[in-house]
Amino acid sequence: MKATRTPVRAHTPRDLHAYGRHYGLDYRVPGLAPSAEVPVMTGTVREFSPRPGMQLVASDVEVIHRYESRSRTPSPLSIVVMLEGHAEVSLDHHSLTLTPGMALSLRLEPHRGLAASQPAGQRLRALTLGLDETYLTRLGVRPSGSSACPLRAWRLPEPLRDGLEQALAMPQMREAQRLLIEGLSLQLLAHGGGFGDPMPTCAPRQATRERERLARVRDTLHRNPAAEHRLADLAELAAMSPASLRRKFQAAYGRSVFDYRRECRLALAHGYLARGFSVQQAAHFSGYRHASNFATAFRRRFGYPPSSLPPAT
């Protein structure tokens, strides 16, 4: 079994595009050029090959800027697992928010790409297991067709989730880890391949217009998190009542409107600090009136004070 470990470091839009060429994804960071040297996330991305025809990619990153991706290569079966954080995914007008403990099984056909958006201000730990046609044929099994339901969401069994956490926490590649990763990958295939009952639940369709209205609110918060953004004004932008906006935004994105704004503010401040601005300046430019409140929120979110963040090199 081969494994590639990427050291903990900052990943820029240029790095994301390099990953995209390797994994068959198109990445986009709203507001940043592909050649920008601004950190989008920090952390590690590891790649495992448990068996020929089977690839497992494990990400453990702090998301500083929201980024989006769309798959552009077909896959007979992919299984995505969310261990921490959340991501918005959609395929053929089916959409959902992946939250911790959820898994997603899908087949990707040519010209039918999975779109995903990773919000800023969160720690994201996720796994993607990809299997090619040759491996599935050699295994003698084939997932059920996906034409009626392209996305199938299911809850990760706790023993399997614990096993994945244990395997990924091992400090280096050893025979025990090789066997664990291989066995756990087969368990993911058994649970998420759709070979028998009970079948995972089909991801719901969300009304296109409602999804677009909620996305307008999300994008407004992301583009200018430092603004006050009264709930009544955001509700008017979404063409719904404030109560409906609170409920539907929480259901769509896994957090409240103002929790999302806070995450965007902290991500913006993180970028200012990484570029060498002072704590006072980062707080002011990100919408905080008092640096002390900003420092408390920053420490709670990232686990260390803003004064300890060195400028990006």
Looking at residue 150, what is its pLDDT? Answer: 64
| Confidence (pTM) | 0.65
Tens-digit pLDDT profile for residues 96-113: 778 888 898 888 776 678
User: Which of 258, 227, 219, 210 lies closest to 93, judged by CA?
Assistant: 210
Tens-digit pLDDT profile for residues 22-48: 888 999 998 888 888 889 999 998 888
133, 76 contact by CB (below 8 A) = yes
Residue length of the chain: 313
Mean pLDDT of the region 250-256:
75
Helical segments of the chain, H only: 13-23, 133-139, 158-169, 175-192, 208-223, 231-238, 242-253, 257-274, 279-285, 291-302
Report helix, strand or coil for 289. Answer: coil
**The Cα angle at residue 260 between residues 31 and 158, in degrees rounded to 5:** 115
Of 176-180, 195-199, 223-227, which has the strongest mean pLDDT? 223-227
Q: Provide the residue type at 288 as one letter.
A: Y
State the CB neighbour count (10 A cutoff) for residue 240. Answer: 19
- Please report, for residues 152, 169, 258, the alpha-carbon distance to residue 225 in angstroms, rounded to integers and kept in the order given: 33, 35, 10
- Which residues, 6 or more positions from 235, have their beta carbon under 8 angstroms from its beta carbon? 241, 242, 244, 245
143, 129 contact by CB (below 8 A) = no
User: Which of 124, 104, 127, 102 lies closest to 115, judged by CA?
Assistant: 104
User: Which of 201, 216, 119 lies closest to 153, judged by CA?
Assistant: 201
Which domains, from first to last, does the chain contain?
2-202 (2.60.120.10), 208-308 (1.10.10.60)
- Which residues, 6 or more positions from 29, have their beta carbon under 8 angstroms from its beta carbon? 13, 16, 36, 40, 65, 66, 67, 68
pLDDT band at 173 (very low <50, low <70, confident <90, very high): low
What would you measure as the largest C-alpha separation in the chain, in angstroms?
62
Higher pLDDT, 123 or 302: 123
**Token representation of residue 132:** 């090619």
